[in-house]
Structure 1
Amino acid sequence: MAIRALTSPSPPSAEPGTILLETERLLIRRYMLSDAPALAEIANDPEVSIFMSDRFPSPYTVEDAETFIKDLNPQHDPSSPPEYPTTSGVFLKVAPTEAHHTKAGDGLVLIGSLGVRPKPDVFYRTWDIGYFIGRVFWGKGYCTEAVSAWTRWMFETWPELLRIEAGRYSSNPRSGRVLEKSGFVLEGTKRSAVTKNGVVMDALLYGLLRSDVEKST
């Protein structure tokens, strides 16, 4: 079913490498094919993939990353307008000095990903988000900083957007803390809805409304 597109008075460019927003420490931009080795480095981790859907490869190779980035091209994804944010990379503005990391296409250090999936039919003013941060970067507040800024940027850029949803597995309370710090409200639990690596878990649903953000500003 086709997506009923939301319009924006100032939509971002769909070109690879387009910077979508910046925070104090982070830069969020569209992926470039040259980011593939850096993406594979942070994604090829069972401690990351265990919290992802089975669409997320494990092991995660450079070839997997290249295929993923190529499929972000609007020509490969006709289900939503090319200016939509789809999936973008989260990069550090200042490279960490304590360890070596594979550099992304423009020399930045890739630490994670943020993705958007627009909903169809009567839910077209709701977008679903997903995200991950490489394990070496956990515990530094990067994920909360990225999710909070990302969601507010989407509300500002697409005035017709009313609601953003996110989900997590019951095995991932860390993600719940990120969502709650970003203003999301826990709205329900789907009991025994997920089977990941043979383990049955609950799925928890969170929601953030435009009105929630407006009240907090």
Structure 2
Amino acid sequence: MENSSSNDATLPFPPPPLVTLKSCTIRPYHPNDAPSMAKHGNNPLIAQWMTNMFPHPYTLDKAHEWIAMNVPKEKEKSKEPAADNNSGTAAAAANDPLAQQPTSTAPTVASLPAPAEPPPVDWPATTNFAICVDDECVGSIGVKPGADVHARSAEVGYWLGEAAWGRGIATEAAAAYVAWVFETVPGVERLSGCVYGGNAASMRVLEKVGFRREGKLRKAVWKKGVWRDLDMFGLLREEWEEERKGR
């Protein structure tokens, strides 16, 4: 199978880093990363903690597919979606006879001063990046932005090849990436992390970065013939800013 991403010789390698750290570099993907992504990602010890969207076996073709989706491209301006006139309380009230009764003169929610609108959520064209050691891609980190009423939240996800475990790379990369998100997208108020029960190492990474354990969804995951709980972690912008001031 021929991959167009592997034949793109116009992209310089390695791409300019998003951030350079003591233990690693976070940077955009490059087609040249596919072999190392497949090498480090093709590990059942990683796949067991990922959703089924994470391929296993992690083949070279799968690596090329992922990179092709995430190589930086020029961002297109998105249009604000039109309001849905068939949903929400406004449409319901129009057909509710109780809503047509004389209204009270007491203050309503609509008459109270509205809180200040948070900054807009304007995501960069690319939010998924490679974690690299000596320009070799050994893992990935990114976010899944929320939608609708969850648009000011995003879920952080990451994986790291076994050869890079035990060196503090995941913690340093996660801390730097979280800072990048909050600094780059002012409208984001909350980051979350979801970890399968039993993945103590990933839980420690989130806690070291400042995430707080918020709860547990019992038997929320069916993976490889095993029920697992889903441990929920969260970090608010105000908590991250307060922590940064104390450093």
State TM-score, norm by structure 2.
0.71
The answer for the alignment partner of 2:50 in structure 1 is: 52
Q: Name 1:161's counterpart in structure 2.
A: 188
Deviation, structure 1 residue 18: 4.4
Find the aligned partners of 2:44 and 2:148 in 1 and give their Cα distance.
35
1:153 Cα deviation after fit: 1.5
Q: Which runs of 4+ in 1 moved over 3 A?
A: none
Partner of 1:63: 61
Instruction: Summarize deviations over 1:166-187 as a string: whole Å, max 9, x none.
Output: 1100020110000000000011
Distance 1:18 1:85 in 2: 14
- What is the match of residue 91 of structure 1? 132
* Partner SS, residue 152 of structure 1: helix
| 2:242 maps to amino acid | K
- AA aligned opposite 1:90: I
- Percent identity over the alignment is 38
Q: What is the count of residue pairs matched by the alignment?
A: 187
2:82 equivalent in structure 1: none
- Amino acid paired to 2:52: D
The structure with higher relative contact order (CA 8 Å, sep 6+) is 1
Q: Measure, in 2, the Cα distance between the counterparts of 1:27 and 1:205.
A: 27
Contact map agreement 1:85 1:116 (CA 8 A) in 2: no
Measured against aligned partners, the alpha-carbon deviations of 1:65-89 in whole angstroms (never above 9, x if no partner) come to 00111122577x98x8772442110
In 2: Cα distance, 1:111 partner to 1:36 partner: 11
Q: Aligned match of 1:143 in 170, 185, 192? A: 170
Tell whether the 8 Å contact from 2:28 to 2:72 is kept in structure 1 after alignment: no
Q: Secondary structure at the match of 1:114?
A: strand
Residue 148 of structure 1 and its aligned partner are, at CA, apart by: 0.7
CA distance in 2 between counterparts of 1:74 and 1:59 reads 26
The RMSD of aligned alpha carbons is 2.1
Gaps of 5+ in 1: 1-15, 96-107
- State the distance in 2 between where 1:113 and 1:186 align: 23
Instruction: Quote the offset at 1:156 in angstroms.
Output: 1.2
Name the counterpart of 2:234. Answer: 207
Change in 2 beyond 3 A, CA 1:112/1:152? same
Amino acid of the residue matched to residue 88 of structure 1? F
**1:29 and 2:54 equivalent?**
no
Contact 2:30 2:71 in 1 (8 A): no
SS in 2 for 1:19: coil
Check conservation: 2:215, 2:232, Cα contact below 8 A: yes
The answer to which structure has the higher strand fraction is: 1
3-state SS of paired residue (2:18): strand
Q: Which residue of 1 aligns with 2:154?
A: 127
Query: Structure 1 residue 152: deviation in Å?
Result: 1.0
Paired residue for 1:195? Answer: 222
* Whole-angstrom distance in 1 between the partners of 2:42 and 2:178: 26
| Alignment-derived partner of residue 105 in structure 1 | none
